[in-house]
Homo-oligomer: A and B are copies of this chain.
Amino acid sequence: MLAKSSTELVRQQNSVLVLSALRRHGRLAHTEISDATGLASATISSITADLERARIIEKSEQQATVGRGRPRVLFSQRRNCGYLITVIISSDLIQYSLVDYAGTLLDRFSEPRGEGGTAAFLAAISAGLERAVERSRIERGSVLLVSVSSKGLARPTEPVLVWSPVFGSQPVDFAAALKDGWQAKVILNNETLLVAGALLERQVKTQGGGEPVLAALSLGHSIGLGIARRVTGGVPEISAPNFGHMLHMPNGGLCRCGARGCVEAYAGFYAILRAAFEVPVDTIPAKFVPVTEIDKIAARARQGNRMAQLAFRNAGAALGYGLSRLLSLHGHMPVFITGPGTRYQDLLQAGIEEGLAQTHVVRLGGMPGLTVVPDEPSLVFEGHLNLAFSIVDQDIIGSRQSMQAAGE
């Protein structure tokens, strides 16, 4: 059923439109906002006046006055309108970043990821968040959103990790990491989902369009996949299918998830190691494999070692077959490959293409674009900011109290 609409909702939507234009271009004048949003000048006046009264945006000091005419007044977000903490969880570290409402990074630090169960893990994150606000002398209450990312499967509605490489199917509820004194909302997203979102936003920014949909494939100890799709007149739709644990081969090699024959059990780092040393495929896979180990295998493969070459080729084929199934079920789209595994692209490529070549969609639509984008960490952070600010802006506008109270 459609939702009913009202004039107040119109104002809300146009307000977030103004804010998102400010996010995308940063520090805009009245006329520029009008151009970017398509709204009439008078409307911009009204909206910016509201937002200014509500102390969400402010007139910028530094007037970039160039040309004749009346000098332009630049608007930008009020920095201390609120804060945002991103928490990026990887296999060995947890990275915390504190960002102000204008999107500038104020502080960043990492902590080693300790041992222990989910309770200890959540306690560590709780402490990390406390440390983040204390270091910058910020009130807990002014943190609007905590955006967490991890590998694994997140519940779509709540910040609960349903499955992760480390804790398996033991659920981790990140909402529990915030104790009293915090008013922040907590969101959790798969890491590669954020990468896909960041790549899509980059396309929009540079080319102003391009393909309306793309996939991000992250290669490493585990295999991640994100899909991002532009929808006309709305926020992009991003999702993280369980690609790494999709079935690659019935009754195949044992996977870390406990199932058999997953894509990851052939294309993850530990799987490449297992294949290269001809360890039986039902061996319990190693928890952690140092990248240097895989580098050694890659070196041997590049020197002509058959078994090492085969390990990478089979990994590539598992990815290729998986991608062919992805294209079958989600439609044709370009694929961007990222993560530490990209350094073995030369060894994987042939297998990937072999796996892709057979299928109907590829025969119809041609080989999908395969682009390597090595710098995964900055994509993850970009994805955090894109998503988090779109939510924060929406929320801040949605809670109209702030706008009206401040107007008194």
Contact = CB atoms under 8 A, between A and B. Distances in A.
Interface of A: 1-7, 9-10, 13-14, 16-17, 20, 24, 37-39, 153, 156, 162-163, 169, 204, 232-235, 241-243, 245-247, 250-251, 255, 257-262, 317, 321, 324-326, 328-331, 355, 358-361, 363-364
B10 A242 contact: no
- The complex is assembled from copies of this chain, and their number is 2
B4 A363 contact: no
Q: Main SS of the interface on chain A?
A: mixed
A170 to B, nearest CB: 12
A247 B328 contact: yes
B17 A328 contact: no
A1 B363 CA distance: 33
A160 to B, nearest CB: 13
B235 A2 contact: yes
Nearest to A262: B360
Nearest to A3: B233
A14 B364 CA distance: 41
Nearest to A356: B247
B10 A325 contact: no
A39 B329 contact: no
Contacts of A6: 10
A207 to B, nearest CB: 14
Given A246-B329, A321-B250, A331-B241, A363 B258 contact: yes
A250 B162 CA distance: 31
Contact of A328 (B241, B255, B360, B364): B241
A257 B9 contact: no
A105 to B, nearest CB: 25
Given A243-B329, A247-B358, A247-B359, 10 more contacts: A1-B20, A3-B233, A4-B14, A5-B14, A5-B17, A163-B360, A247-B321, A259-B358, A262-B360, A329-B330
Contacts of A329: 241-243, 246, 325-326, 329-330
The 5 closest A-B pairs by CB, nearest first: A3-B233, A245-B360, A246-B328, A241-B329, A5-B13
Contacts of A242: 328-329, 331, 360-361
Contact of A163 (B20, B156, B262, B364): B364
A69 B406 CA distance: 47
A249 to B, nearest CB: 9
A179 to B, nearest CB: 29
A254 to B, nearest CB: 12
Nearest to A239: B331
